[in-house]
Amino acid sequence: MRYALDVQYRGKNYAGSQIQFQGGKQIEAPTIQGELERAISTLIKNDESHDNIRPIKTIFSGRTDRGVNALGQVVHFDCDKNIVASDFIYHVNEILPEDISVSDLRIVDKSFHAQKSAKFRYYKYELINRRYKQAFDGDIPRIKYPLNIERMQEGLNYLLGEHDFSSFKSSGTLNPSKVCFISRAEVERQGDRVFIHITGNRFLYNMVRTIVGTLLEIEGHNLPVEHMKDVLKACDRRKAGQTMSPLGLTLMKVEY
């Protein structure tokens, strides 16, 4: 049977969501996938009367980088055992580290693929917009100069629709396709917090973080909002702003 999980995690202590390999060998670095597979395999094995249980292999809806959080990551795995969702969720969460949790488990059709079946992914980037730090700011990036939400929204509007987003990708992008479709790009302020919401069918490596960095470059240097359109059309990473910290970024939801 094929099962789908909804997974939440804080990425600060992990080298990204995916187990990593170099030269055909697995890199010994903590990852969300590694912890999840270890926990599920331990749980399934302990619930059986014999040791001949293959380790569980998981497929994520998409890769998140080192430090990136998730509230709505979707993962699938195959297992012949009939799993009771309520028992599984309780016990697997007891095994997992405190900064990783499973919120739901369901049986899905064998044709379901967490990555390939996904239609849209929704990311949120959070900023603190305040001159002075506060003790409970945590890891959220803080911008000291005032941000003009209306101008930022105008800049984001240029990203809507289907475009080549080469200007916003980092060099580590392996997929040759650079075209993405963005259905939502919005910014909102709640007190001294600024949230940037971006939904798309796919995202390039560091794309959201670089979009945010470009927005902040426009604001910080008082550039015309049309600068975002110029950067987009240039298809040149050197034209965009810095890649912002991953600690402000959260994968919120995956739509199928």
User: Does residue 190 share a domain with residue 156?
Assistant: yes
Residue 207 has pLDDT above 70, yes or no: yes
pLDDT at 12 over 80: yes
32 has pLDDT over 70: yes
What is the number of structural domains in the chain?
2
Question: Any idea which of 40-44, 45-49, 170-174, 237-241 has the lowest mean pLDDT?
Answer: 45-49
Q: Which of 6, 51, 65, 87 is catalytic?
A: 65
Residues 95 and 161 in one domain: no
pLDDT score for 2: 96
Nearest one of 250, 236, 234 to 10, comparing CA atoms? 250
> Other C-beta atoms within 10 Å of 62: how many?
17
The residue from 50, 74, 108 where one domain ends is 108
CATH of the domain at 86: 3.30.70.580
Are residues 187 and 227 both part of a single domain? Answer: yes
Specify if 13 maps to a domain: yes
Whole-number mean pLDDT of the chain?
A: 93
Kindly compute the dihedral angle of the four CA atoms of residues 156, 159, 165, 171, in this order, to the nearest 10 degrees. 10
Residue 114 lies in a domain: no
| Kind and range of the H or E run holding 250 | strand 249-255
**What is the b/e burial string over 87-120, where b = at least 16 CB atoms within 10 angstroms of the residue's CB?**
ebbebbeebbeeebebeebeebeeebebeebbeb
Claim to verify: residue 100 and residue 124 sit in the same structural domain: no
On the question of pLDDT at 223 being above 50, the answer is yes
Residues 6+ apart with CB under 8 A from 103: 6, 7, 8, 89
Last residue of a domain, one of 108, 136, 168: 108
Asked if residue 109 has pLDDT above 50, the reply is yes
The CA-CA-CA angle for residues 208, 210, 214, to 5°, reads 120
pLDDT at 30: 92
CATH code, domain carrying 170: 3.30.70.660
Residue 34 gets which letter from DSSP? H
Active-site residue, 230 included: no
For residue 115, being part of any structural domain is answered with no
